[in-house]
Amino acid sequence: SRIRVMELEEQPDVTFEQVGGLKEEIEEVREAVEYPLTKPEIYERIGVEPPKGILLYGPPGTGKTLIAKAVAHNSNARFIRMSGSELVHKYIGEGAQLVRELFILARERAPSIVFIDEIDAIGSMRMHDGTSGSAEVQRTLMQLLAEMDGFGNRGNVRIMAATNRIDMLDPALLRPGRFDRIIQVPLPDADSRREILKIHTAKMTMKDVDLEAIVSQTEKTTGAELQAVAREAGMIAVRRDAEAVEQDDFTAAIKKVKREEHKAQAQDT
């Protein structure tokens, strides 16, 4: 199974320029993850311990994974990614062993950043109520906690996790020495939506497009949805064999993306 774990390693090419908004959040993550790797002497000199683990939380599609990748790219560190829900649903019965191997790999490949997406799948309180599968999930969580306790705060393996459901997390995960720095990644405000739209339309040919109108039509829209809006507007322009993407294409694209979002929400409930 070591081979499987090796496949979790990535070399992300995401840069900070590809992240719209989230400036303060990025700086917080850099202080907790990147600078301890690239300038450890500052922490030494000042005599302060960087946080052990960083938890990013917020709605799906707001850029949590994007930030983690950009920080890994900038730190020149290996990015080792594991999904909490895959641990539970794909590697049934092997979760704890996989977590062990994940951290062995992280040490071998150091400097490295371990990123556990959807950590609520292994670390949520409701899982430990005696329902089926919960003993296995509990073992996986215990292994993760043990691995984290085995690391120093200044090591060259940095640990990050992300969740949409911080309210469900087992408090054991949030104790000092574990995920002790919590950073909220919110829905983008108007300025951030403008930046995100600029990023995702940078390579598109556009004619008389009023970005401000799009910004005000996309309140409560995530970065992932804004990316979908840009792509959809481009596809509509392609379909009508146009020279450039126009305002009407964006208007139609926003409608379509919002309709799909509502459908997805209806399926969730």
Q: Distance between CA atoms of 257 and 227, rounded to whole angstroms?
A: 10
CB of 167 to ligand ATP, least distance (A): 15
Instruction: CB nearer to ligand ATP: give 125 or 224.
Output: 224
Candidate residues 32, 65, 82, 180; the one interacting with ligand ATP per rule CB under 6 A: 65
Q: What is the dihedral of CA 92, 95, 93, 132, to 10 degrees?
A: -80
Q: Distance between CA atoms of 180 and 61, rounded to whole angstroms?
A: 23
Candidate residues 30, 64, 109, 158; the one interacting with ligand ATP per rule CB under 6 A: 64
* Residue 15 backbone zone (phi > 0: left; psi -120 to 50: alpha; other: beta): beta
Instruction: CB nearer to ligand ATP: give 53 or 223.
Output: 223
133 part of the interface to ligand ATP, by CB under 6 A:
no
224 part of the interface to ligand ATP, by CB under 6 A:
yes
162 part of the interface to ligand ATP, by CB under 6 A:
yes
List residues bridging with 81 in a β-sheet: 115
Number of amino acids touching ligand ATP (CB under 6 A) = 19
Q: Residue of minimal CB distance from ligand ATP? A: 223
52 part of the interface to ligand ATP, by CB under 6 A:
no
Backbone angles phi, psi at 110, to 5 degrees: -55, 145
Amino acid symbol at 132: S
Q: Distance between CA atoms of 203 and 145, rounded to whole angstroms?
A: 44
257 part of the interface to ligand ATP, by CB under 6 A:
no
Task: Specify the stretch interacting with ligand ATP by CB under 6 A; choose among 36-44, 59-67, 144-152, 172-180.
Answer: 59-67
84 part of the interface to ligand ATP, by CB under 6 A:
no
Helix axes 95-108, 134-149, angle to 10 degrees: 20
Instruction: CB nearer to ligand ATP: give 170 or 195.
Output: 195
Q: Distance between CA atoms of 15 and 71, rounded to whole angstroms?
A: 8
* Strand 78-83 to 157-163 pairing: unpaired
Candidate residues 28, 34, 117, 120; the one interacting with ligand ATP per rule CB under 6 A: 117
Task: Specify the stretch interacting with ligand ATP by CB under 6 A; choose among 14-22, 37-45, 107-115, 246-254.
Answer: 14-22
* DSSP 8-class letter at 82: E
The residues that touch ligand ATP, with contacts defined as CB under 6 A, are: 19-22, 60-66, 117, 162, 164, 196, 199, 223-224, 227
